[in-house]
Amino acid sequence: MRVILTLIIIMGISTGIAAQVSYQRIANADAEPGNWLTYSGNYAATRYSALNQVNTSNVKRLAPVWIYQLKSAGAPFECTPLVADKIMYISEPPSTVTALDIATGRKIWTYTPEMPKDVKFMGFGPVNRGVALLDNNVYIGTLNAHLVCLDAKSGAIKWNVTVADNKLGYAITCAPVAIDGKIIIGISGGEAGIRGFLDAYNAKTGKLEWRLYTIPGKGEPGNETWQGDSWKTGGAPTWVPGSYDKELNLLYWGIGNPGPDWNGDNRKGDNLYSCSVLAINPTTGKMAWYFQFTPHDTHDWDANQIPVLLDIKIKGIPRKVLATANRNGFYYVLDRKTGEFLAGAAYAKQTWARGLDAKGRPIVIPGKEPTEKGNLVYPSLQGATNWFSPSYSKSAGLFYVSVREMGSLYFKKEVEYKPGEYFMGGGEQLLPGDNASGAVKALDAATGETKWTFRLQSPPWSGVLSTAGGLVFGGSVEGNFFALDAVTGKSKWQFQTGGQIISNPMSFSVNGQQRVAITAGNSLIVFGLIAQ
């Protein structure tokens, strides 16, 4: 017996203890705040931590506990780490997966896929935003458009499937979403004239279970919103993870802009379902409803912001809602059962619409289209916000979002589709001497009214995290990682990381000690409280 026990202990030390992350654990992720089991912390995508050890009274004692540095530099480090059972799983650009000891940052294993030297990533960097966990597996989408399943204990490949043809511009930068028995993965490549889709794969076998095209085909409802054959190269990618309501069994996913960007002359119509959010039955892959934020977009205003699922009162009535701050400058509240528009308001400077009508459709100001000579419009093509995550604190009743206050001159040009090449009908030029700035804003979740604003020197590329400690964490492109009072927006703490922050904060605990993590430059930095 002693020999057997010794062997078991030796095996445990040599291989580590693999995470066992069941669907039920992810569905009840709020019950174990010491872990971070899915991209946004929970299926509702609130990016809220119930940990309160780090709070407004002691956050000034926050300091780095360990730092993990990338072997290769050059691409933005945009990953949100996942934590389960004392192991952290991260993705490194472009598509490497690494498992780390959460107490020390010691590397346990790493996996790097083989990719062709001429791998295409058109319109974005060679980045990856994270992995998914389910049971004893780790899942990653790769830059050459594969979906790979790894053993969580060793990093060994269990299966590897081709999602789409990278030579045509399809790529994956999105973190997968794991639900009951399925891995949901989105696709990038809108600037290459792809036809966007969302896929669901069997988590055990890698078999494709369904594919939902985000542009309806010939004869399908919505195809009439595209001129001629423009739907075939219309973009509408799905490059940021979605959210999930397990009770309604609906998956919510934001859809990217139509192609070609900036020139809609040959794709007249609303161009469904670009710049929309889709509610999807994940069992069948059928769409339940859609809501389009920016019909016939010509400014590259993807709707790839993560939909946040809230149970709040609207005009005194409890509602199950979907809230999102869209790239086009407006905040929206929708009924997530039906897609009904409930409320909306501008949360940043925008000069393209007079407002939203009773159904949430923008009242567009004529003459705001891109032109050959350039047309000044707010927000810029990067939007009033972008792919980085917002956060919601139930106790504060506030929706937090990083905001980019910036305009640009929009240009258009003629473009012809050629497979595997850029398919962009113009571009933007930044304003000379522009006074662009950034902010973290707290919005009333029910109305979108701005409650407080924390100014940043330049437009940010970092998401935010709110916590039960009454804090909101965020980052700046100047490298400052900071904490704000969640109620007032006042600065409580900051740390200069030395690298651009282009990612989302998250929190977990180890041996009863709360940690807060962020990537900055080429480093992953894990913070904890130090003794006074």
- Do the strands 426-430 and 408-412 form a parallel or antiparallel pair, or are they unpaired? antiparallel
Q: Which among 530, 524, 528 is positioned nearest to 71, based on CA atoms?
A: 524
DSSP-derived secondary structure for 412-425: E------TTS--BS
- Do the strands 146-151 and 137-141 form a parallel or antiparallel pair, or are they unpaired? antiparallel
Q: What is the largest CA-CA distance in the chain?
A: 82
Dist. CA 449–CA 350, nearest whole Å: 15
Q: Which among 284, 256, 287, 285 is positioned nearest to 271, based on CA atoms?
A: 256
300 is catalytic: yes
Q: What is the 3-state secondary structure (H, E, C) of 164-202?
A: CCHHHCCECCCCCEEECCEEEEECECHHHCCECEEEEEE
Matching residue, tokens 């020390």 = 104
Phi-psi region of 269 (alpha: psi -120 to 50; beta: other; left: phi over 0): left
CA 365 vs CA 39, 155, 303, 350, 412: distances in Å = 37, 53, 20, 11, 18
In one-letter notation, the amino acid at residue 294 is: T
Dist. CA 11–CA 33, nearest whole Å: 29
Strand partners, 355: none
Matching residue, tokens 């419009």 = 377
Query: Which of helix, strand or coil describes residue 231?
Result: helix
Q: How far apart are the first and last CA of the chain?
A: 47
Sheet holding 408-412, edge to edge: 375-377, 408-412, 426-430
Q: Which among 510, 393, 439, 461 is positioned nearest to 84, based on CA atoms?
A: 510
Q: Which among 450, 447, 325, 342 is positioned nearest to 379, based on CA atoms?
A: 325
Phi-psi region of 41 (alpha: psi -120 to 50; beta: other; left: phi over 0): left
Active-site option among 300, 302, 311, 485: 300
Q: Which residues are catalytic?
A: 300
